[in-house]
Chains A and B, each alone.
Chain A
């Protein structure tokens, strides 16, 4: 696989023109992950999709996408973004209900976000234990844990934190106002969670594509046996890759709680984990490109919401489109991917 370095191209005295072309192409390739989302964002209104709604929706998709991309670098498939997001939301709520209004807003929000990440990490730790302790394939472990997490979340909402004032609906009380993620302006729903997500993209890009750890992870992912023989800490790398993924999905849950919902409820972030999975696979797990995929899927999801409102079609109808896009991407890339 790709760990074996391709033979170096023959060093010839290429004409200066070729060198220039290569530099321009390199430059374009570098700018593209930033340019494409901006372009996409500008296109959305033309399709009748609200830009701000798309940005709000893209935030969790980007994070759950990264939650797939990081383990993927180490050869692991995380299908549990869903459950990690639920538990992240629960972790964030647990912290929020504990500290309430007792701390300055900025510290309180930071702790709530940390609580979310911790919830995701804790949930992923179960899958990591199953994978490395009992050799249960992580695809199966993370998938089934999603359903356990769904019930656990329902239990927490109905039996532990239920708002006695809310008749009928099962929701927790609202978070203290000081713990809610502020919006970018008085008239917008876009909150600072978007910047957390974009910051996470940069950090994950540095970690995965620019750090020694990222290189080690790709060696482990490419050929664990060879990595073990070369003396790399294989298990530690696998665990770290999984837990970082869990933290990212958990963060998505925290942002949903503190940025959008203002409370915990059972349907929170439903489907976001799977959509993140689609996003990451769409772009071959390249962190820099996940913003583009997240925004595209968010645009489709927002369009789905409008279908529901305007035509009475269930919002999940657009899953057909999302799945179709990924199947086409996989089909096109499939042949090329065989080089591995």
Chain B
């Protein structure tokens, strides 16, 4: 059924972006903007794919993706936190680094095949009409993406660590006064964000495309950046945003699969245009509570 296929596709396609969005959200809550999220996704995707190809099993690939994404984010954290580099420029350089690394290492994996993370339908629940397919018959990582949003919400707004993280993004001085190191918290947040972006990349290749091509993520990390702003730094709204993006992409695939005559190039733009549109509407209506520490980052482009 068309609607069901689109919804199922939205979840599976949106999951990779959702991981990256939540990762970026964590980093930004601590006051670090990471344009390297795209690079972390790429590294996670290649590491996941390569390990799955070498071991013949997708599960180790998941961990490899997580670690690869975290490692790249670690570079961003060091350059930005320890060296005081501009966050926007450093982030883009990090993405470039990820693009170069994965292009170089990935050539030998271009034609490889892998067994992806198989679908694991949840008994009984997956038989529910309409909802069964799009919520309860996915792979491990896609379920994880669905669970991540409420978990992250709970962490951010119901735990002491979450409060510390949010405070770091608002006013690091206060955190310092309470005897915590804002720098350490920012390190942890940035690296955790990269790990989630890496998971997103791994989800993309292990559960969705099942192949590796150069620049496999094609800007999903940057979409994540837009969705964080759309979501006003709230995990549950981020989930909504990611599934709107995923839905637009799934719609494109379904229309193509059904041979409906719309230029594929026009359809390719739809997810990006839609992301910009929802962001424009959200920004225009205002009312976004950007963490206070972030404003300076987004305004940091001025010449020196």
User: Measuring CB to CB, which residues of chain A are less than 8 angstroms from any residue of chain B?
Assistant: 1-2, 69, 71-77, 79, 130, 133-137, 139-141, 143-148, 151-152, 154-155, 158-159, 218, 221-222, 274, 277-278, 281, 284-286, 312-314, 316-324, 326-327, 330-335, 337-338, 340
Q: Mark B72-92, 1 if CB is under 8 A from A, else 0.
A: 000100010001111011101
| CB within 8 Å for A135 and B283 given contacts A327-B93, A334-B84 | yes
| CB within 8 Å for A141 and B276 given contacts A218-B303, A313-B104 | yes
Taking the complex as formed, is B299 at the interface, i.e. its CB lies under 8 A from any CB of chain A? yes
11 A-B pairs with C-beta separation under 8 A: A134-B280, A139-B225, A140-B276, A144-B226, A145-B272, A147-B219, A316-B100, A323-B100, A331-B79, A334-B85, A340-B304
Taking the complex as formed, is B94 at the interface, i.e. its CB lies under 8 A from any CB of chain A? yes
Q: Which residue of B lies closest to A304 (CB)?
A: B100
Contact B276 A136, beta carbon cutoff 8 Å: yes
Q: Nearest Cβ distance between residue B248 and chain A, in whole angstroms?
A: 13
Measured between alpha carbons, how far is A243 from B81 in the docked complex, in Å?
Answer: 33
| Chain B interface, >50% SS class | helix
Contact A277 B303, beta carbon cutoff 8 Å: no
Taking the complex as formed, is B96 at the interface, i.e. its CB lies under 8 A from any CB of chain A? yes
Contact A324 B97, beta carbon cutoff 8 Å: yes
Contact A314 B302, beta carbon cutoff 8 Å: no
User: Measuring CB to CB, which residues of chain B are less than 8 angstroms from any residue of chain A?
Assistant: 35, 75, 79, 83-86, 88-90, 92-94, 96-97, 99-101, 103-104, 107, 214, 218-219, 222-223, 225-226, 229, 263, 265-266, 268-269, 272-273, 275-276, 279-281, 283-284, 286, 298-299, 301-304
Contact B265 A72, beta carbon cutoff 8 Å: no
Contact B89 A151, beta carbon cutoff 8 Å: no
Contact B303 A320, beta carbon cutoff 8 Å: no
Measured between alpha carbons, how far is A285 from B304 in the docked complex, in Å?
Answer: 8
Q: Nearest Cβ distance between residue B112 and chain A, in whole angstroms?
A: 16
Residues of B within 8 A of A145 (CB): 272, 276
Query: 9 closest pairs, A vs B, by CB?
Result: A319-B100, A334-B84, A77-B301, A155-B265, A330-B85, A316-B103, A320-B100, A323-B97, A331-B83
Q: Point out the residue from A139, A148, A285 that lies within 8 Å of B303, measured CB to CB.
A: A285
Residues of B within 8 A of A286 (CB): 303
Contact A140 B279, beta carbon cutoff 8 Å: yes
Residues of A within 8 A of B85 (CB): 327, 330-331, 333-334
Residues of B within 8 A of A1 (CB): 302
Residues of B within 8 A of A146 (CB): 219
Residues of B within 8 A of A133 (CB): 280, 284
Residues of B within 8 A of A139 (CB): 35, 88, 225, 298, 301
Q: Which residue of A lies closest to B279 (CB)?
A: A136
Q: Nearest Cβ distance between residue B71 and chain A, in whole angstroms?
A: 14
| CB within 8 Å for A148 and B273 given contacts A222-B302, A320-B101 | yes
Contact A278 B265, beta carbon cutoff 8 Å: no
Measured between alpha carbons, how far is A158 from B219 in the docked complex, in Å?
Answer: 22
Residues of B within 8 A of A76 (CB): 301
Contact A135 B286, beta carbon cutoff 8 Å: yes
Contact A323 B84, beta carbon cutoff 8 Å: no
Contact B272 A147, beta carbon cutoff 8 Å: yes
Residues of B within 8 A of A324 (CB): 97
Query: Which of B84, B90, B303 has the most CB atoms of chain A within a 10 A radius of its CB?
Result: B303
Residues of B within 8 A of A318 (CB): 100
Contact B103 A314, beta carbon cutoff 8 Å: yes
Contact B88 A151, beta carbon cutoff 8 Å: no
Contact A337 B269, beta carbon cutoff 8 Å: no
Q: Nearest Cβ distance between residue A213 and chain B, in whole angstroms?
A: 14
Contact B304 A151, beta carbon cutoff 8 Å: no
Contact B269 A152, beta carbon cutoff 8 Å: yes
Contact A340 B100, beta carbon cutoff 8 Å: no
Measured between alpha carbons, how far is A134 from B281 in the docked complex, in Å?
Answer: 7
Residues of A within 8 A of B276 (CB): 130, 136, 140-141, 144-145, 148
Measured between alpha carbons, how far is A188 from B101 in the docked complex, in Å?
Answer: 33
Q: Which residue of B lies closest to A339 (CB)?
A: B304
Residues of A within 8 A of B75 (CB): 327
Contact B225 A140, beta carbon cutoff 8 Å: yes
Q: Point out the residue from B93, B219, B222, B302 that lies within 8 Å of A221, measured CB to CB.
A: B302
Q: Nearest Cβ distance between residue B115 and chain A, in whole angstroms?
A: 26
Residues of A within 8 A of B286 (CB): 135
Q: Which residue of A lies closest to B38 (CB)?
A: A143
Q: Nearest Cβ distance between residue A68 and chain B, in whole angstroms?
A: 9
Measured between alpha carbons, how far is A79 from B284 in the docked complex, in Å?
Answer: 21
Contact A136 B283, beta carbon cutoff 8 Å: yes
Contact B275 A330, beta carbon cutoff 8 Å: no
Contact B214 A314, beta carbon cutoff 8 Å: yes
| CB within 8 Å for A143 and B283 given contacts A221-B303, A326-B93, A330-B85 | no
Contact B84 A278, beta carbon cutoff 8 Å: no
Residues of B within 8 A of A75 (CB): 299, 301-303
Q: Point out the residue from A151, A313, A314, A319 that lies within 8 Å of B265, measured CB to CB.
A: A151
Measured between alpha carbons, how far is A137 from B288 in the docked complex, in Å?
Answer: 13
Measured between alpha carbons, how far is A147 from B226 in the docked complex, in Å?
Answer: 13
Q: Nearest Cβ distance between residue A313 and chain B, in whole angstroms?
A: 6
Measured between alpha carbons, how far is A145 from B225 in the docked complex, in Å?
Answer: 13
Contact B99 A319, beta carbon cutoff 8 Å: yes
Q: Which residue of A lies closest to B86 (CB)?
A: A330
| CB within 8 Å for A335 and B100 given contacts A144-B222, A285-B303 | no
Q: Which residue of B lies closest to A71 (CB)?
A: B301
Contact A317 B103, beta carbon cutoff 8 Å: yes
Contact B219 A144, beta carbon cutoff 8 Å: yes
Contact A334 B83, beta carbon cutoff 8 Å: yes
Q: Which residue of A lies closest to B106 (CB)?
A: A314
Q: Which residue of B lies closest to A159 (CB)?
A: B263
